[in-house]
Amino acid sequence: MYSCTECNKWFSAQRYLRQHMNIHSCKYQCSECGKSCQGTFALTMHRRSHSGEKPFECSVCGKRFTMTRHLAVHSRIHSGEKPYKCHLCDRSFSLSDSLQRHIRSIHSNLRPHSCSYCGKQFATVTDMKRHVRVHTGAKSFVCRHCSEEFVWREQLRAHLLKSHNEGTWFTCHICPKKFTRKGHHKQHMQRHAGVKPYVCDECPTRFITANELKQHQRVHSDYGQFSCFLCNAQFKRKSDANKHLKKCSVVHALSAIVL
C-alpha cells in the first residue's frame, strides 16, 4: 500500500499514487475553475464540462456524450443489456457500480463510513460525502448560464432543463408526466406496469423502490427509530411520529394551562 503524504489516501500501486500526486502539485489544472486533475486525459474530459462539447452521439436516439464509455453504457438502454447480475436475488444491472450499490444497500448492513458531524453511517464514501453537504451547505455545482449555485448535481440538471431548456426530459408515453431524472422516470414507468422487483424477506409483500422496501421492513422490527421529545414514545415511521407529536404537543399545552 502506498499513502499520500498530503491527504492520507492509500493506493495499491505506486503508479496510482504518482497520478494522484498530480492533483496536489496542480500540474494539470483547469484554467476555467482551477480544478486539478490526475493527467491530460482527465483534464480534457473535465474541460468538456465547461465547453459543453459532446462528440459521441447515440445512433438510436441522437443523445450525445463527452466520453465513449458513457455512450456504451447509454446504449444498453436501447439493447436492454444488463451484464452485471446479483448472485443473491438474480437482479441484473447495466453498471457494475449499480450492482455494488444494490448489494450494499439491500443485502448488507455494513456501514463503515460515518459522518463526522452527526455520526450517521453509510455503505460508501460517496454516500457519506453527499450527506455531509447537508451539514456544510456547500454549493459545488454552478450554472454556466446564470451562475446560480446548487448543492446537488441533480438540482443543477433540473435547473438547466427548466430554466435554460438544456438537456433531455424523460417523458412518459402513457401519461403527460415528464421527469428530469432517469431513475424517477423508470420508477414511474414501473408503477404503470405494476413491476415490483423488491421483495420483503420477512413476508411476501413486494415494492417498486428500495426505499419503499426499507420503510416497510420497519414493520417487522422492534426498534423505534423516531421518538417524541415530549413523552419519549417511539415509532417506526417518521410520519407516525409527526402525527403523534401534533397530538402530544396539544395535550402538553392544555396540561400547562390547567396547571
| Residue 78 maps to a domain | yes
Residue 253 confidence (pLDDT): 55
User: Which pLDDT tens digit goes with each residue over 33-46?
Assistant: 888 888 888 888 88
Q: pLDDT by residue (tens digit) across 114-142?
A: 888 888 888 777 788 888 888 888 888 88
Final residue belonging to a domain, choices 14, 34, 52: 52
The per-residue pLDDT for range 170-185, each reduced to its tens digit, is: 888 899 898 888 888 8
How many angstroms separate the first and last alpha carbons of the chain?
67
Same domain, 60 and 46: no
DSSP designation for 57: E
With CA atoms as reference, report the closest residue to 92 among 78, 103, 108.
103
Q: Tell me which of 10-14, 126-130, 225-229, 252-256 is least confident.
A: 252-256
Average pLDDT, the chain: 81
Q: Which one of 92, 107, 122 terminates a domain?
A: 107
Sign, CA torsion 117/119/120/126:
positive
Distances (CA, A) of 112 to 59, 109, 249, 258: 42, 10, 37, 50
Q: What percent of the chain has pLDDT over 70?
A: 91
Residues 60 and 93 in one domain: yes
Query: Is 48 a member of any domain?
Result: yes
Same domain, 24 and 70: no
Q: What is the average pLDDT across 140-158?
A: 86
Under the banding of pLDDT at 50, 70 and 90, the label for residue 250 is low
| Domain final position from 107, 142, 173 | 107
pLDDT of residue 100: 80
Rounded Cα gap, residues 97 and 120, in angstroms? 22
Say if residue 20 is in the same domain as residue 66. Answer: no
Q: Is the pLDDT of residue 93 over 70?
A: yes
Instruction: Judge whether 40 lies within some domain.
Output: yes
Q: Is residue 95 located within the same domain as residue 69?
A: yes
Q: Is the pLDDT of residue 254 over 70?
A: no
Domain range for 39: 1-52
Which CATH number do you get for residue 81? 3.30.160.60
Domain check: are 36 and 17 in the same one?
yes
Give, as one character, the DSSP assignment of residue 37. E
58 and 84 both lie in a single domain: yes
pLDDT at 249: 67
| Residue 94: count of CB within 10 angstroms of its CB | 19
78 & 32 share domain = no
Query: What predicted TM-score, i.e. pTM, was given to this entire model?
Result: 0.41
- Count structural domains, the chain: 2
